[in-house]
């Protein structure tokens, strides 16, 4: 954020944005699958729809924080992102006992496991993006 701005062509930026959008949606489905898989360990028997609702419900504030990029100031985007992330974690910790029918004391550990899986999925998406970018598969055009 301290150097000169880097500008992409319209087509290149659109391709990258659409690819990242679909990767994030796939990440929500993967998080729902992992939450469904882990629920048995914590004594819950949710349907996949319930875990998908939990994953989508908690990911929504982070997705909505992307509107902060319309004002491309680094400090503003980071502040909005941190607030959205905090609210997402809050929604997860309060929503797990309700949606998954898990007692609150076990729900805290389950929610912490879901947060860990979400962070791992985010790192996987970012690593895949970096690999595709450096190997020339997604070749952005700069202006």
Asked whether residue 50 is domain-assigned, the answer is yes
Dist CA 4 CA 86 (whole Å): 31
Tokens of 87: 């609210």
DSSP bridge pairs for 142: 8
Three-state secondary structure call for residue 8: strand
Buried b (16+ CB within 10 A) or exposed e, 103-124: eeebbeebbebbbebbeebeee
Asked whether residue 141 is domain-assigned, the answer is no
Asked whether residue 119 is domain-assigned, the answer is yes
Q: How many domains would you assign to the chain?
A: 1
Three-state secondary structure call for residue 142: strand
What are 80-138's pLDDT values in tens digits? 999 999 999 999 999 999 889 888 888 899 999 999 999 999 899 889 888 888 887 76
Q: Which domain holds residue 110?
A: 23-134
Asked whether residue 10 is domain-assigned, the answer is no
Indicate the pTM of the whole model.
0.85
């Amino acid at each position: 954020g301290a150097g000169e701005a880097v500008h992409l062509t319209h087509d290149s930026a659109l391709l990258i944005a659409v690819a990242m959008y679909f990767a994030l949606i796939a990440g929500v489905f993967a998080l729902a699958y992992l939450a469904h898989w882990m629920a048995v360990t914590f004594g819950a028997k949710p349907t996949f729809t319930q875990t998908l609702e939990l994953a989508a419900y908690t990911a929504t504030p982070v997705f909505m924080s992307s509107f902060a990029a319309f004002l491309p100031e680094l400090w503003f985007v980071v502040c909005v992102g941190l607030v959205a992330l905090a609210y997402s974690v809050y929604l997860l910790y309060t929503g797990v006992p309700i949606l998954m029918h898990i007692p609150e004391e076990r729900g805290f550990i389950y929610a912490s496991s879901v947060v860990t899986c979400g962070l791992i999925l985010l790192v996987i998406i970012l690593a895949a993006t970096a690999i595709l970018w450096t190997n020339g598969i997604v070749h952005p055009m700069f202006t």
